[in-house]
Amino acid sequence: MDLASLYNLYVNDLFIYGCYLGFEREVVKDAIHDVFVKLTADEDLLRHISHIKFYLFKSLKNRLLDIHKEVRREVTLGNVVPLEEMPFNIMINVEDLIIEREEQIQIKNEIEQMLNALTDRQREIIYLRYVQEYDYKQIAELLQISVHGCRKLVSKAILSLRERFSVFLIL
């Protein structure tokens, strides 16, 4: 696949992921620039990557973390915010649903309520699993935690939502 098709295929997903991780638009764009430039610098690399999209997600996250560390180090003199404290905020879009504004807001509220009951890492896992369809092994790699830890975070999320919204399933 050539650079243009790769770019067109994945730039939106990469951009969204970067923004959800709490980075400014321009910073995310710079990081995407760096990721693609690095990718094409090594043609062997391109040939040997089997999951190109996953590779791009991983490189982007690493690049963003590097940028984050550089900036942090300046501001707080070595006091870097740990990975697990990075934000993850999913933007909910209902504007493209062709329904009344009122109903749009209702849907947005429901989804928001549910996502707000979760932690940043739980939201990140859900996004990576549901929207990007990564498996637990890949997600664990992106979050730099174990597969077991990853699954535990999800079951905790399910539990806390059941408690919060008393959603009991009657079978």
Partner 1 sequence: MERNNICNSYTDLLKDQRFLQWQLMSDETMNSYWKEFFFQHPELKNELLQAIHYLKKEGLNKSSLNDDERMALFERIQISVNRKKKKKIFTLIGYASAVAVVALIILGIKLFSLTPESLVRPDKEIIIGEVLNNKDIQLITSGKTISFDNDVEVSLNDEGTVEVTQRDNDVTRLAVNHDQINSLIVPFGKRSTLRLADGTKVWLNSGSVLEFPTQFSGKNREIKLASGEMYIEVAHDKEKPFYVHTPDFKLRVYGTKFNLSNYDNSPGSVVLVEGSVSVQSGTEEMFLNPNEQLLISRGKAPERQTVDVTHYISWKDGYLLLENTPMTDVLDKVERYYNLSFNYEQDVNLKKRTCSGKIYLSENLDNVMTTITLLSATQFKKENNRIYISHATE
- The CA angle 56-153-28, to the nearest 5 degrees, is 30
At its nearest, how many Å lie between partner 1 and the CB of residue 133? 9
Beta strands in the chain (DSSP E): none
At its nearest, how many Å lie between partner 1 and the CB of residue 54? 16
At its nearest, how many Å lie between partner 1 and the CB of residue 171? 6
At its nearest, how many Å lie between partner 1 and the CB of residue 49? 17
Comparing CB distances to partner 1, the nearer of 5 and 50 is: 5
Comparing CB distances to partner 1, the nearer of 147 and 161 is: 161
Residues contacting 50, CB < 8 A, separation 6+: none
Tokens encoding 122: 């739980």
The residue ranges that bind partner 1 (CB under 8 A) are 3-4, 7, 11-13, 15-16, 19, 25-26, 29-30, 32-33, 36-37, 40-41, 67, 70-71, 73-74, 90-94, 96-97, 99, 103, 106-107, 110-111, 113-114, 126-127, 130-131, 154-155, 157-158, 161, 165, 167, 169-171
Tokens encoding 75: 């501001």
Comparing CB distances to partner 1, the nearer of 86 and 126 is: 126
Residues contacting 68, CB < 8 A, separation 6+: 23, 80, 81, 86
Residues contacting 33, CB < 8 A, separation 6+: none
Tokens encoding 108: 């947005």
Comparing CB distances to partner 1, the nearer of 104 and 145 is: 104
At its nearest, how many Å lie between partner 1 and the CB of residue 146? 19
Question: How far apart, in whole angstroms, are the C-alpha atoms of residue 59 and residue 34?
Answer: 9
